[in-house]
Amino acid sequence: MNAVYTSIKTDAAIGISPFSLQGGFNFDHYSNVLGGSSGFNFPGYLLNSVQLSLGTVILVMVIAVPAGYSIVRLGFGGRWVLQLITSLRLVPAMFFAVPFFLIFSALGIYDTVVGLILADTFMQLPLALLIICGTLRDIPMEVEEAAAIDGAGTYRSLVFIVLPLLASGLVAVGIIVFVFAWSDYLMAVILSASGAVPVTVGAAFFVTSAGIQWGNLAAVTVVSVIAPLAFAVFAQRYLVRGLSAGAIK
Amino acid sequence: MSALTTTRPEIGAAAKSPRSTRRQRSLHARGSARWVLGIPLILFLALLVAYPIGNGVISSLQNHTLLNPNPTWTGFSNYVRILTDSNFWDALSFTVVYTVLVTSIELVLGFLLALVFDRPFPGRRFLLSALILPIMIAPALMGIMFRLLLSQNIGVIPALLQALGINISLLSASTVIPLLVVLDVVQWTSFTFLLFHAALQGVPAELEEAAQLDRASRARFVFSILIPLLAPTIFITGFLRAIDAFRAFDTINVLTAGGPGTTTTTLSIYVYKILSSGDFGLASAASVVIAIIVLPIIPFVIRRITDGATS
């Protein structure tokens, strides 16, 4: 709320007192940061955030959907695969961020969106896989057995029978992964410097050595928070179910 | 929990059933599919888990720095440097205090809120939605918002305090820790609430009716029946929060960068500072030490989390 309020005031009013409204309200700070005249490439940060969040959602799905099916229905790896992956969520992320930094630097994907997508996929996969496995267990086996009797192979049955039944669960997973990837700060601050900076890290750039651009900082924060929040409000039904199912069984 | 335990017979048991021939044939056909579908996950585990762990452990045993790209083996000297660094122990004790404080406050508040939301009242649905929003805000951005709110120059809160004649900086050494605790509570009580709320909905209404018939007070009901009943949920929620609080980084780094001095340096910020200074070997060693601290409690939690999805 305070951020919204600060962001629409003039710099002069911000300078006088938190309650001053000198100069009235305007949207200059928004046009500054979105138009790129703030000295920082905020539109670029926003684009990076969108790209890395979408990329993470896609990569997580590509890994977790077939793996979840294989674990739940085909007994892939027994219990330990899921336990191993889940435990990744519990290890301090810093433990992986340091080697990621070294490896990505060596591979030349440091400070690229691709590198951040890989790191964020690592961060989000455990919860995604857990939710997908939980949802798969709730789908009755009989449908697939019927499909098998009708001659559908494993892959056919996965694509045409299981995926449609799994759809609403996947929407929940997609939204959760998107929002959390958008929120990531730790990986971004370590694995990006300028080219791939997302909003969570970029916003802090507005605290410059020449002082803090309060109005712009507030505008940046508002824009960065609203995107995933709007998403979350629309998709709330899925979110609550996904979050509570994923965290606890 | 019960919703997720399906009636599907175990594959091994099914093989002995009268339908065994068909089952076995379909199992055989699935033998390759199991691995094919698992390929992306195996690649992920190899490239983003196993390789980084190996790389991290190796570099923790070398004098790898920004200025020394061709490191040599130095044995455990990085570990010795970490364990003899007073900043490490300060960071560890701050992190433990912070973790214990936020976890206990969030458990109590989340539980109380869940009790309130267990009964219908006007606006319940709307408030329920609103309570979930803090989880959706990036912690780093939350930190920036509070930076605006608390700033001596433009913040509303210092201005209000001044109007009341109180002239303190909330980010000074004496007030910063309670402040960070409050911030974490504001953001993550939603999480404990959500899990408790879900668990309470699974408690049959008959229990409370029976307690009422026995003239047990509401408080008695909560302490003697609900809390023991929900003990597993409380336990796992507490662990999940504690593990997340233990690696706290985003909000604190944005708001205080571990300062003033090293007062609010968590273990994660401690590692980050070493990494930023360019001493990669030392940073690796510190992160290995932190992982080792957390490792022993993971199996406890894991079994409970994955039970529903694997059994």
The token pair that represents A156 in the structure block:
């056919």
Alpha carbons within 13 A on the beta-carbon side of B150: 19
Q: How far off is chain B from A47, nearest CA to CA, in Å?
A: 17
Q: Cβ of A102 and B59 within 8 Å?
A: yes
Which residues on chain B are in Cβ contact (under 8 Å) with A122? 44, 48-49
Cis amide linkage into residue B260, ω under 30° from 0: yes
The token pair that represents B32 in the structure block:
């390759």
Give the model's confidence band at A194: pLDDT under 50 very low, under 70 low, under 90 confident, else very high.
confident
Question: Does residue A4 lie in a domain region?
Answer: no
What is the pLDDT at residue A63? 94
- Reference B171, options B104, B266, B254; nearest CA is B254
What is the pLDDT at residue A55? 95
CA B160 vs CA A17, B178, B234: distances in Å: 11, 19, 38
Alpha-carbon gap, residue A63 to B41, rounded angstroms = 5
The SS3 of residue B62 is: strand
Which residues on chain B are in Cβ contact (under 8 Å) with A69? 37
Q: Write phi, then psi, for A172 (nearest 5 degrees).
A: -60, -45
Give the model's confidence band at A14: pLDDT under 50 very low, under 70 low, under 90 confident, else very high.
low
Q: Would you list the domain boundaries of chain B?
A: 77-310
Q: Write phi, then psi, for B62 (nearest 5 degrees).
A: -125, 160
Question: Does residue A217 lie in a domain region?
Answer: yes
Which of A67, A88, A182 is facing B37, going by the closest CB pair?
A67
Q: Cβ of B138 and A248 within 8 Å?
A: no
**Stated length of chain A:** 249
B277, pLDDT greater than 50: yes
pLDDT 10s digits, A160-172: 888 888 887 888 8
Domain count, chain A: 1
Q: Cβ of A18 and B155 within 8 Å?
A: yes
CA B27 vs CA B14, B21, B31, B235: distances in Å: 11, 10, 6, 39
Q: How far off is chain A from B290, nearest CA to CA, in Å?
A: 7
| A67: closest chain B residue by CA | B38
Q: Cβ of A70 and B271 within 8 Å?
A: no
DSSP B135-160: HHS-HHHHHHHHHHHH-TTT-HHHHH
CA B169 vs CA A13, A14, A215, B73, B173: distances in Å: 22, 19, 21, 47, 9
Alpha-carbon gap, residue B95 to A90, rounded angstroms = 16
Give the model's confidence band at B231: pLDDT under 50 very low, under 70 low, under 90 confident, else very high.
confident
Q: How far off is chain B from A149, nearest CA to CA, in Å?
A: 10
What is the pLDDT at residue B284? 93
Q: Cβ of B56 and A96 within 8 Å?
A: yes
Q: To 10 degrees, what angle do helices B86-117 and B267-276 make?
A: 130
- Count the helices and strands in chain A (H runs, E runs): 14, 2
Which residues on chain B are in Cβ contact (under 8 Å) with A159? none
Q: How far off is chain B from A21, nearest CA to CA, in Å?
A: 12
What is the pLDDT at residue B165? 67
Question: Does residue A28 lie in a domain region?
Answer: no
Give the CATH fold of the B77-310 domain.
MetI-like fold (1.10.3720)
Per cent of chain B over pLDDT 70 is 85
A98, pLDDT greater than 50: yes
Question: Does residue A65 lie in a domain region?
Answer: yes
Which residues on chain A are in Cβ contact (under 8 Å) with B273? none
Q: How far off is chain A from B282, nearest CA to CA, in Å?
A: 10
pTM over 0.90: no
Question: Does residue A14 lie in a domain region?
Answer: no
B281, pLDDT greater than 50: yes
Range of the domain at A70: 40-247
Which residues on chain A are in Cβ contact (under 8 Å) with B199? 248
Which of A67, A122, A186 is facing B250, going by the closest CB pair?
A186
Question: Does residue A67 lie in a domain region?
Answer: yes
- CA A15 to chain CA centroid, Å, is 35
| A16: closest chain B residue by CA | B154
CA B66 vs CA A99, A192, B69: distances in Å: 14, 16, 6
- Reference B107, options B177, B179, B195, B225; nearest CA is B195
Question: Does residue A182 lie in a domain region?
Answer: yes
Which of B52, B137, B295 is facing A100, going by the closest CB pair?
B52
A249, pLDDT greater than 50: no
∠ at Cα B205 (B203, B207), nearest 5°? 80
| A190: closest chain B residue by CA | B272
pLDDT 10s digits, B162-201: 777 666 666 777 788 888 999 899 889 988 998 898 888 8
Contacts with A86 (C-beta within 8 Å, 6 or more apart), sequence order: A126, A129, A130, B302, B305, B306
pLDDT 10s digits, A32-84: 666 655 567 788 888 999 999 999 999 999 999 999 988 888 888 777 888 88
A116, pLDDT greater than 60: yes
CB A203 within 8 A of CB A220: yes
What is the pLDDT at residue B2? 34
CATH number of the domain encompassing residue A233: 1.10.3720.10
B90, pLDDT greater than 80: yes
pLDDT 10s digits, B14-62: 334 444 444 434 444 456 788 888 889 989 988 889 999 998 999 899 8
- Mean pLDDT over residues B299-306, rounded? 78
Which of A185, A229, A244 is facing B194, going by the closest CB pair?
A244
